[in-house]
């Protein structure tokens, strides 16, 4: 259990073996799984990215970006519009990153000065405002009617494999970023900021720049997920691209797995998405009810997340880290 | 000119209803720092109570207000007692997630009970209106406006004149001192949440006469509720009323000048501006929500 005692000692052997097995499975999956399960797995990866993106701004920076789905929509629309203008998918997708960063910097400058609840609901309002904006702009975005992306000539079977692999790549990038945050000095700075903004300022941390950077990183990954989603579904409309449920689901996944941990959001995403898929199929009429009850249970019984509880059994007696 | 006059009246009348729909949400936020995303569901349940009583017993929705309030008070009180009080001890922001889960739950329950079809309540006086100068004021809107303001005034008096109201205000201002004065904060929280839900229920009964009734009708209210809460200052009843009227007016004028599709954009832009420039709200003072 050495790996759990000291953070710097690196992961323990069982964790490495388990991690490697999961990685091998994820890489082989598109070539062995049926289309249905590939779809489920792709959506797990997509929500994994959303949850990991939230983890950066919520778990590590302490800013509850409840409406982070705004970046999902921005990513979906900048990819969609880019492709409608004739750009290839890869380029259009890559361009979502600068777009997300510009939005995060421009909007984050005033919004990230707000604290707690105010920031949380301001992001919700931002999401709504962006959605209305896309509806009203019309033109190349298709407005309320939605936007159809160019169909890829290679056929769906191949396309879905590629979509899956791109999602996997982005998720790996997001997880690597979080891992780096968890260990590196930037992560210490962010966590100092999370626990006391004034304290962090006294220690010479430029908190404004840090917060904006964290949100830009969070937004970029979320936007990439949105961009791939747009090409995956090939038809986007404002209400589904800026669906607040996307970030709320990501939020619950992050909480379930454990916020502020490297792999927690991934575990949460896999668990909740599989669960949702099963109840969606079995209980068509009451799946919202079950999902709602699950959320209530998670929040009331294990607000620290699954990962925390798994670990807590292993090192009993350690005081619980209180989340804010 | 006539059009403008009519628009202003329509906006103000609707604004009164929005104000009452907001007060409970604003109080819950102001007193205990909980952003209750299930507030829209409470309004929706209130509307369904009104619809149910109207469809089965022919009761006028105005008469079902006490019933809606009672049903929602019980729901709200129990939710706070059983669930929210537990979560508040760990993290207030978890309440966002928790109440969202509750919102999903309630919407699904209502779909099971009433299906997801749209319903409406048509009373004998639904179509008739009062003519004032060149403008027409539908009786239903005038009555809902009046009832909404009566409810708001009643709640204001409840807070200022009764012991329970004083306990709520005291807990909002200083929880620890309130505890020393033999006030049990958990009990006060349950009472506040129950009362907030009851007001939402009353607003829902009123709304059942003006809007199509559907399980997701609350989602359309919650946007207005957010804007009015922040505009009026969190936890302020009088702020809610003023902000509600202002919001109704702005919405009506925006749709007249810019077109209906710009209504929401205008609302959200005002909301963001208020948050950034004057987070205590136009009429508010610093309150619980500000500190936490």
How sure is the predictor about A322, in pLDDT bands with cuts at 50, 70 and 90? very low
How confident is the model over B129-145, as pLDDT tens digits? Answer: 888 777 788 888 898 99
- The nearest alpha carbon in chain B to A123 belongs to B272
Q: Does residue A304 fall inside a structural domain?
A: no
CA A35, distance to chain mean position in Å, is: 24
Average pLDDT, chain A: 84
DSSP A17-38: HHHHHHHHHHHHHHHHS-HHHH
Contact B98 A299 (CB under 8 A): yes
Q: Which is more confidently placed, B275 or B162?
A: B162
Question: What does DSSP say about strands B129-132 and A147-148: parallel, antiparallel, or unpaired?
Answer: unpaired
Work out the pLDDT band at A3, boundaries 50, 70, 90. very low
Residue A12 touches partner B, C-beta closer than 8 Å: no
A153 is a domain residue: yes
Distance of CA A144 to the CA centre of its chain: 26
pLDDT digits (tens, 9 = 90+) for B228-238: 988 888 888 88
Q: Is A323 within a domain?
A: no
- DSSP type of residue B12: H
- Band the pLDDT of A318: cuts 50, 70, 90: very low
Where do the structural domains in chain B lie, given as residue ranges? 1-277
> In this structure, is the dihedral angle defined by the CA atoms of residues B230, B233, B235 and B241, taken in order, positive or negative?
negative
Which one of A296-300, B178-182, B202-206 scores highest in mean pLDDT? B202-206
A21 lies in some domain: no
Q: Do B101 and A125 touch (CB under 8 A)?
A: no
**Does the pLDDT of residue A232 top 60, yes or no?**
yes
Chain A, window 288-307: residues with a beta carbon less than 8 angstroms from a chain B beta carbon: 288-289, 291-296, 299-300, 303
Q: Which domain holds residue A86?
A: 33-243
H helices present in chain A, as ranges: 2-5, 13-32, 35-54, 69-84, 89-111, 116-137, 156-183, 185-195, 197-202, 207-233, 238-241, 244-257, 264-282, 287-301, 306-314
Looking at the predicted structure, is the pLDDT value of residue B218 above 50?
A: yes
Whether residue B21 has pLDDT greater than 50: yes
Interchain proximity B93–A289, CB inside 8 Å = no
The answer to whether B20 touches B244, Cβ cutoff 8 Å, is yes
A106 at B interface, C-beta within 8 A: no
Q: Which residue pairs from A178-183 have beta carbons closer than 8 angstroms and sit at least 24 positions apart in sequence? A: A178/A52, A178/A55, A178/A56, A178/A60, A178/A262, A178/A265, A179/A262, A181/A56, A181/A60, A182/A60, A182/A261, A182/A262
Indicate whether A151 belongs to any domain: yes
**A121 contacts B227 by C-beta, under 8 angstroms:** no
Report the number of distinct structural domains present in chain A.
1
CB contact under 8 A, A121 and B230: yes
Q: What is the pLDDT of residue B291?
A: 37
Using alpha carbons only, how large is chain B's radius of gyration in Å? Answer: 19
Q: How close, in Å, is residue A243 to chain B by CA atoms?
A: 13
ipTM comes to: 0.77
- Choose from A288, A298, A309 for mutation: most chain B CBs within 10 A: A288
Asked if B33's CB is within 8 angstroms of A299's CB, the reply is: no
Kindly report the CATH class assigned to B1-277: mainly alpha
Asked if A114 and B275 come within 8 Å (Cβ–Cβ), the reply is yes
- Specify burial of residue A222 (Cβ count, 10 A radius: 0-12, 13-18, 19+): buried
How high does pLDDT run on average in chain B?
A: 86
Residue A193 domain-assigned?
A: yes
* Higher-scoring residue by pLDDT: A161, A193: A161
Distance CA A242, CA A300 (A): 28
pTM of the model: 0.84
Identify which of A116, A128, A286 has the shortest CB distance to residue B108: A286
Nearest alpha carbon to residue B217 among B39, B64, B40: B40
For residue range B138-167, what is the model confidence (pLDDT) as tens digits? 888 898 999 999 999 999 999 889 999 999
Distance CA A75, CA A50 (A): 12
Distance CA A32, CA A40 (A): 14
CB nearest B105 (choices: A113, A122, A289): A289
| Whether pLDDT at A6 is above 50 | no
DSSP letter string, A68-99: THHHHHHHHHHHHHHHHTT--HHHHHHHHHHH
Distance separating alpha carbons of residues A93 and B102, to the nearest angstrom: 36
């Amino acid at each position: 259990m050495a790996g759990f005692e000291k953070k710097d000692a690196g992961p323990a052997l069982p964790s490495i073996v388990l991690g490697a097995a999961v990685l091998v499975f994820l890489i082989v999956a598109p070539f062995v799984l049926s289309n249905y399960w590939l779809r489920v797995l792709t959506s797990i990866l997509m929500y994994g990215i959303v949850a990991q993106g939230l983890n950066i701004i919520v778990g590590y920076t302490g800013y509850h970006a409840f409406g982070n789905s705004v970046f999902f929509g921005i990513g979906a629309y900048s990819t969609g519009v880019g492709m409608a203008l004739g750009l290839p998918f890869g380029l259009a997708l890559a361009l979502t990153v600068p777009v997300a960063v510009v939005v995060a910097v421009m909007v984050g400058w005033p919004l990230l000065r707000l604290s707690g609840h105010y920031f949380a609901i301001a992001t919700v309002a931002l999401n709504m405002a962006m959605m209305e904006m896309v509806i009203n702009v019309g033109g190349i975005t298709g407005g309320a009617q939605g936007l159809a992306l160019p169909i890829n000539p290679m056929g769906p079977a191949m396309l879905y494999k590629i979509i899956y692999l791109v999602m996997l790549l982005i998720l790996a990038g997001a997880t690597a970023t979080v891992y780096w945050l968890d260990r590196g000095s930037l992560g210490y700075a962010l966590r100092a900021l999370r626990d006391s903004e004034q304290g962090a300022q006294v220690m010479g941390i430029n908190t404004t720049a840090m917060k904006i950077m964290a949100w830009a990183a969070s937004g970029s990954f979320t936007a990439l997920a949105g961009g791939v989603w747009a090409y995956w579904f090939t038809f986007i409309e404002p209400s589904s691209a800026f669906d607040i449920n996307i970030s709320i689901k990501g939020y619950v996944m992050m909480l379930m797995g454990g916020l502020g941990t490297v792999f927690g959001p991934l575990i949460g995403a896999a668990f909740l998405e599989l669960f949702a898929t099963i109840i969606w199929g079995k209980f068509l009429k009451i799946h919202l009810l079950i999902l709602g009850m699950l959320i209530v249970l998670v929040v009331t019984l294990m607000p620290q997340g699954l990962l925390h509880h798994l670990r807590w059994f292993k090192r009993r007696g350690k005081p619980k880290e209180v989340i804010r | 000119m006539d059009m403008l006059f009519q628009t202003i009246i329509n906006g103000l009348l609707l604004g009164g209803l929005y104000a009452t729909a907001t007060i409970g949400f604003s109080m819950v936020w102001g007193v205990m720092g909980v952003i209750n995303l299930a507030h829209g569901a409470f309004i929706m349940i209130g509307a369904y109570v009104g619809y149910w009583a109207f469809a089965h017993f022919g009761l006028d929705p105005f008469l079902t207000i006490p019933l809606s309030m009672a049903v929602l008070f019980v729901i709200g009180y129990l939710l706070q007692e059983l669930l929210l009080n537990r979560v508040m001890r760990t993290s207030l922001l978890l309440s966002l997630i928790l109440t969202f889960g509750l919102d999903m739950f309630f919407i699904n329950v209502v779909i099971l009970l009433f299906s997801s079809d749209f319903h409406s309540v048509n009373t004998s006086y639904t179509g008739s209106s009062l003519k004032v100068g060149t403008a027409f004021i539908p009786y239903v809107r005038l009555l809902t406006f009046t009832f909404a303001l009566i409810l708001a005034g009643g709640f204001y008096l409840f807070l200022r004149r009764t012991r329970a109201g004083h306990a709520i205000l005291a807990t909002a201002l200083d929880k620890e001192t309130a505890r020393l004065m033999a006030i049990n904060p958990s009990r006060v929280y349950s009472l506040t949440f129950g009362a907030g839900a009851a007001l939402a229920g009353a607003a829902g009964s009123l709304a059942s006469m003006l809007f199509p009734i559907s399980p997701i009708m609350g989602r359309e209210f919650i946007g207005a509720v957010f804007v009015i809460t922040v505009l009026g200052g969190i936890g302020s009843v009088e702020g809610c009323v003023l902000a509600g009227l202002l919001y109704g007016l702005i919405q009506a004028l925006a749709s007249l000048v810019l077109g209906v599709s710009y209504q929401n954009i205008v609302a959200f832009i005002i909301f963001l501006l208020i948050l950034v420039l004057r987070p205590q709200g136009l009429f508010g003072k610093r309150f619980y929500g500000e500190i936490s």
